[in-house]
Structure formats: C-alpha cells, structure tokens
Amino acid sequence: MLHTIISRLLQGIAVVFCLLLITFVLVRLMPGDPFSGEKAHSAHIIQKNKERFHLDQSYVRQFSVYLGFLARGEMGDSPVKEQPVTKIIKHSFPASLILGIAGISIAILIGIPAGILSALKKNSYIDYGTMVVAMAGISIPSFVIAPLLAGQVATRIPFLKIAGWGDPFDWILPAITLGLGTAAYLARITRGGMLEVLNQDYIRTAHAKGVRPLIVVTKHAIRGGIIPAIAYVGPAFAALITGSFIIETIFQIPGMGQHFVNATKDRDYFLLQGVVILFGTLIVFANLAADIALVMLNPRLRN
Amino acid sequence: MSKNAQNNAALKGHSLWSDAWIRLKKNHMAMISLVVLLIIGTLCFIIPAFSFIPDPNTQNLNNTFQDPSGNHLLGTDQSGRDLLARLLYGGQISLLVGLVATTVSVIIGLSYGAIAGYAGGKTDSIMMRIVDILYGLPFLVLVILFSLLISEHAKDLTESLINRWPDHEVVIKKLINLVPLFVAIGALGWLTMARVARAQVISLKKQEFVEAAVSLGLSHPKILLRHIIPNMLGPIIVYATLTVPGFVLTEATLSFLGLGVESPNSSWGILLSEGANYMETYPRLLIIPSITFSLTLFALNFLGDGLRDALDPKAAKD
C-alpha cells in the first residue's frame, strides 16, 4: 500500500513537471509578452524589464532559472502585477478552496442520496423524475444557472447578495451553482453502481436471511454500490476548484480562477506557471485520495 | 410461399443496426430528442438562408432593446441586432464546433487507440502513458493556451487566403475565426476516445475472425481497417454522440470568457454572456438563449444515452 502511494506520488510529480513544461513552452510561443499590453513602454524599458525577468535568454536557461526558484520555494514575480506569485496565490487560493469544498459537499449531499433513491425505486416515477432532473443538471451549464439564481433568487432573499465574498452567506449561491452539475453526474453514477450491486447474489442472500431491507441497503448494498461514485468524487473535486473561474467571474469572488484566465490573456508567464503547478498538484492529490478511498472500501483491491 | 416470405422478412433487417434502430424507436426520450435536434438543426442551418431573417451583425442604435414584434420575432439586443438572427447564426457556430471538434477527436482518438491496442506490448504501454499524462492536465488550460497560439497563425492564413480570393473576404474571416476552436478542442478532446477504442481493439483482436484474417496473410493495416474497426463502430458512435454536448459546452464556456468566438460574431456562448449583463432589465436576452442552448444539450445527452442502450443492451443499467 505504502509502496503504491509513493510510486503514485512520484508519477504525480512527473505529471506536474510535464504540465509545467508544456505550459512553459506554449505560453512563450504565443505572440506578445508580459510587457506588450495596453501600457506601451519605450523599447528601452521593455528591454530592462526583460532582463530583470530573464526573458531575453534562451528557453533552457529560463527554465533552469525557474526551477531554481521552485527549489527555494518561490515562484518568481508576476511581471504584470509586480508581486511575488506566491503572495498572489496565498491571497486568492482560500476563496477557491472554500468554494470547491462547499461545492463538492453540496454535490455529495444531493447527488448520492438521489442516486440511491433512484436505484431503489427503479423504473418508478421517482426514478424517472430524478434522472430527468439530473440530465437537466448536466445539460444546463453553470453560466446559465448562475445569472438566473443571482437575478431571480438573490434579489428576493434579504441575506443573499447578487455578488461578493464577505460573510459565509455569500458562499451559498456560488456553491450551489458550482455543485449542481457534479450532483447530477453523481446521481447518475450512484444509480448505476447501486443497480449493479442490488442484482448480486449476496444481496439476495441477505434478503433471504431475513435482514431488514433498510439494513440490507445501508450495510451491504451501499458499500459496493457507492464505489464508482467515490472514484468520480476525487477528480470532480479537483475539476471544481480548477474550473470555478466562471462562477468566480459571475459572483465576483476573489479566487484563483480570475488569475488563471487573466494571466493567460496578459501573457503573465510566471503567474500562469504558478497557477498551473498548483492546479496540477491538486488534480494529482485528488486522484490519489480517490484511489486510496477505493482500496479502503473494496477489500479485493488490497495488496 | 407465404412461409418463405415470412422467413425472408425474419432474416431481413436483423443486423446490429436495425436491431438498434428498433430499440431506439421504443425509447421515447431519445426519439423526442432526435426530433428536437432535427428541428433545431433545420432552424439554424436552413432558415437563415431566407431573406426575412436580418443580418445578425448589423447594429441599429436607434432600435435597441425592442420587444418581440412582427419585425423582430424575438426582439432586439443592446446594439439593436435581431435576436432571432443572432440565435440562429450562433447556433450554426455552436453546433459546427461541436460536430467538427467531435469528428477531429474521433479521427485522432480512434487511430491512436486502435494502433496502441493492436500493437500491444511496449508500444501500447508507452502510448497509453502519454494519454495518462495528458489526462492529468486541466483541459481548459490547454485549450485556452492552444487556441490563442493557433489564432495568431490563423491571422497570417487569413491574409493569404483573402489575397487569393478577395471576393470571399467575409466568409473567410467568419470561418477562420473558428479554426482555432475546432483544432484546440478536437486536438485535446480525443483522450477518452483513445481509451474506448483501445479497449475495443484489445477485446476484438483475440477473436477467431481476426485469427482467420491473420492466417490468410492479410497485412496489419488491412486487418485493422477492414475487420476490426468496422466491428467497433457501435461504442465509438455512442461515445461520439455523448462528446458533442461536451464540446458545445466547451465552446460556449470559452466564448463566455471572451476566449472563443469573437464579437460581433455570434455563438450561443456569446449570447449567454451578453444576456447575463441585462438579466435584471431585459431577462429575455438571457432566457431565450438559455432555453435554446440547454434544450439542445439536453436532447444530445438523451440521444446519446438512448443510443448506448440501443447499441449495447448489456451496458444499459436496467
């Protein structure tokens, strides 16, 4: 087990390194540079700036300088925002993390019970209704739900604001918007997993022994039936954090998403690299956590 | 005689495809979705050709925010443009992106996955490790970087094309605008398709008909193209159908963020992002594109689900 985790972590480092390398090259291949934006400087100042950020040197040299930064636990300075990248990330990551955790919690709390209920009442109106709602949740993108929620709900309930990120009440609408799509996927996956398990012999045996139906479901069926959903939750959590920039834009949340999009637009090489490293690491850890949880739930996967 | 005819009828029309069609016809949601998609497709691609639909990009600042009327069936937007025209032309673009990007991703994913699965051994494991690494990358990060990169080269291409065919400047500009999106989404969206294709090839290549082909001395490309790939089209088609809505959504997301189709051109993502600015004063500008967009994705997803159940009854979970 420990061996597997360590080898997975090493693989993860390799994945993040590849991601960094790809980003590093792609963003530099793009025309323009961090200094060619709206505020036009004289050629002299641009040259000075490029020297300051080593941008006048070869890619190999730039990359080794950057790896040197990383080794010292730094990520360089953002040429556009003129701040250390680590500081920008420290300021914006908490909001993204809270939003991601709230979003995945809502997704789990709605999606998994809905999926279980749907599987238990297979081919009933409850099942059809849940699955049509789930399909709607998958088909209606967050940037459609978000403005509608903000415009139609937030304006009617006194303690909800259309946008902003002050007190925990402000977390509610963005988290719902973020979590709904994932909840819909989870419901469908849970239903599939539960149906698979409910048809198996050991469930029939448990019923035949006279175990109460509620206990059969809670003690026997859920353990196996929930496995595909758990496998999905890990990557989904990472996707919620890395993909929340639309919701951050609509609800004006000071998270990482805005930096990610703006850094790409502004050719802010160092900020983009920092965000990509963070997102890549998150994805690696989320996948690893999901795999560990799977092994714990499913004894057949052990050793 | 009549018995013979009956036998013929029973023998006829029992291929995989006709069986699947019979099962699909019994799936009401999938059939309704198919009809909805045909209607939306007809509206978007055929109706704009008639002259009663105004130009979607012509602004008229004396005519902004008009309510629906005889002149403008769905009213006008913040620049006095006809919303119906923008919705239909935008639909063309969104659907085209979905279809073309899916085609690109099927071509890449199918070839890559089929070669990896057929070759097996070291080749297979190296090819699939590359897929694993690409899987770890955030899709949108790469699409954004990639499409910005291509769009610069597309500008040079536009100029040379316009120099060659000056008469078609408008059409060229409109289409070139989309190339980066097509390429970026398609070029990065093939990973799951490659996995699906590889799994299919691995299960097929051990079967007797492939052994027979090998012992007849057929070449590897011929075995793959003539014998294996035709037998795996079912799952590929199903997965491709389920990919289309994902790509339509990616296009809309990018356009919504200002990184996809560029204004004043229209796409559903652009309409949604413009509409969101006026949701309190003119909710119509948000709600009409929202309904059209969501309905299309809804139908595509239901059709994909229905096709999966029809082509692969074992995978149907009920």
Q: Domains plus CATH for chain B?
A: 20-46+83-317 (1.10.3720.10)
For chain A, give every domain's residue range. Answer: 93-266+282-302
Q: Which of A279-283, B15-19, B130-134, B218-222 has the highest mean pLDDT?
A: B218-222
In chain A, the percentage of residues whose pLDDT exceeds 90 is 15
Which residues in chain B have Cβ-Cβ distances shorter than 8 Å to A280?
A: 136-138
Tokens of A10: 């090493």
Which residues in chain A have Cβ-Cβ distances shorter than 8 Å to B305?
A: 135
Q: Which residues of B touch A (CB under 8 A)?
A: 132-133, 136-138, 140-142, 144-146, 148-149, 152, 245, 249, 252-253, 256-257, 259, 272-273, 275-276, 279-280, 283, 286-287, 290, 293-294, 297-298, 300-302, 305, 317-318
At B318 the pLDDT is 42
In chain A, the percentage of residues whose pLDDT exceeds 70 is 97
Q: In whole angstroms, give the CA distance from residue A186 to residue A179.
A: 10
pLDDT tens profile B72-93: 677 777 777 888 888 888 888 8
Contact B78, B274 (CB under 8 A): yes
**B136 closest CB neighbour out of A15, A191, A243:** A15
pLDDT tens profile A127-160: 889 988 888 888 888 878 887 787 778 778 877 7
Q: Is the pTM of this model over 0.90?
A: no
**B149 closest CB neighbour out of A26, A143, A192:** A26
Buried b (16+ CB within 10 A) or exposed e, B147-173: bbbbbeebeeebeebbeeeeeeeeebe
The whole-angstrom distance between A19's CA and the closest CA on chain B is 6
* A143 to B252: CB separation less than 8 angstroms, yes or no: yes
CA-nearest residue to A18 within chain B is B133
Measure the CA dihedral A161/A163/A169/A171, to 10°.
150
pLDDT tens profile A165-222: 778 888 888 999 999 989 998 998 899 889 888 888 989 999 999 999 889 988 889 8
**B152 closest CB neighbour out of A30, A147, A196:** A30
Q: Give the mean model confidence (pLDDT) for residues B171-175.
A: 71
Structure letter (DSSP) for residue B317:
-
At A105 the pLDDT is 94
CATH architecture of A93-266+282-302: Orthogonal Bundle (1.10)
In chain B, the percentage of residues whose pLDDT exceeds 70 is 89
Is the link from the previous residue into A213 a cis peptide, with omega within 30 of 0?
no
**A23 closest CB neighbour out of B140, B145, B294:** B145
Phi and psi, residue B42, nearest 5°: -60, -45
Q: In whole angstroms, give the CA distance from residue A1 to residue B160.
A: 59
Q: In whole angstroms, give the CA distance from residue A253 to residue B196.
A: 38
CA-nearest residue to A196 within chain B is B317
